[in-house]
Amino acid sequence: MRRPGERADAARGGPLPVPAEPPAGCALCPRLAAFRAENRRAHPDWHNSPVRSFGSARPELLIVGLAPGLKGANRTGRPFTGDYAGALLYPTLVRFGYARGTYGADPADGLALTGCRVTNAVRCVPPANRPTGPEAATCRRFLAAEIAATRPRAILALGAIAHDSVLAALGLRRNSRRFAHGAIHELADGRVLADSYHCSRYNLNTGRLTEAMFAAVFEGLRRRLSRRRGAAAPGRARRPPGSATQP
Ligand code: SF4
């Protein structure tokens, strides 16, 4: 049986590990590859390729967004960098000890993530910020490989599509854990999956998500992870897996 992050080797019948990063010219999603080419013609100085994950190689926390923004990560080449979402995400990571430095909306800003890694469920910019279901499913092999390679203790999904992609990448049924802002799901393998509305311009401008709500998600995660560290100590009971609770 294949594990996440492995694909069948048709020639030998055995599994080969899928690299966590797609090749620069990945063309598995024709629509997205064509959109990249279109943007490359219009903006040859932009990144216009699949965006690599950013942060610690062995993170405690993996943050999974939806997809690169056209003028954000697709332009700068670093997840959540140069757009509205990064202006909230990265200062929040600094505040909660998951990043050092000052976010400057530029990959050369010197910001370093500590115990944290940031990636996207879909690595290429989609037209109108909307990947299709098949595109999310196609790119999931890289998310699965990312999780398998970095083995985070906690995953924070930004939005329902990222939540569903993480579940599928872990081989779990989509409706086994429902997306809910602020929820923290205990997974059977001992990890936790936390949910937040995406820190997108739309969600922030419409008030669906506020800075305080976003910070509360990190507060809840911090409490949960420190409780779990305590629970892992000898003589302390652990919560049974399979439950989702508000932090
Ligand atoms: S979205 Fe993922 S699978 Fe699709 S072309 Fe880009 S890197 Fe390849």
pLDDT at residue 2, as a whole number: 47
Task: Show the tokens assigned to 210.
Answer: 């506020």
Q: In terms of Cα–Cα distance, which of 155, 133, 137, 129 is closest to 62?
A: 155
Q: Which of 138, 141, 161 to mutate to test the pocket of ligand 1 (most atoms within 8 A of CB)?
A: 138
Q: Is 67 in the pocket of ligand 1 (CB under 6 A)?
A: no
pLDDT at residue 63, as a whole number: 98
pTM score, whole prediction: 0.89
Q: How far apart are alpha carbons 97 and 114 in whole angstroms?
A: 7
Q: Is 124 in the pocket of ligand 1 (CB under 6 A)?
A: yes
More confident residue, 197 or 245: 197
Tell how far the Cα of 32 is from the centroid of ligand 1, in angstroms. Answer: 7
Say whether domain 48-233+240-245 belongs to CATH 3.40.470.10.
yes
Q: Is the pLDDT of residue 245 over 60?
A: no
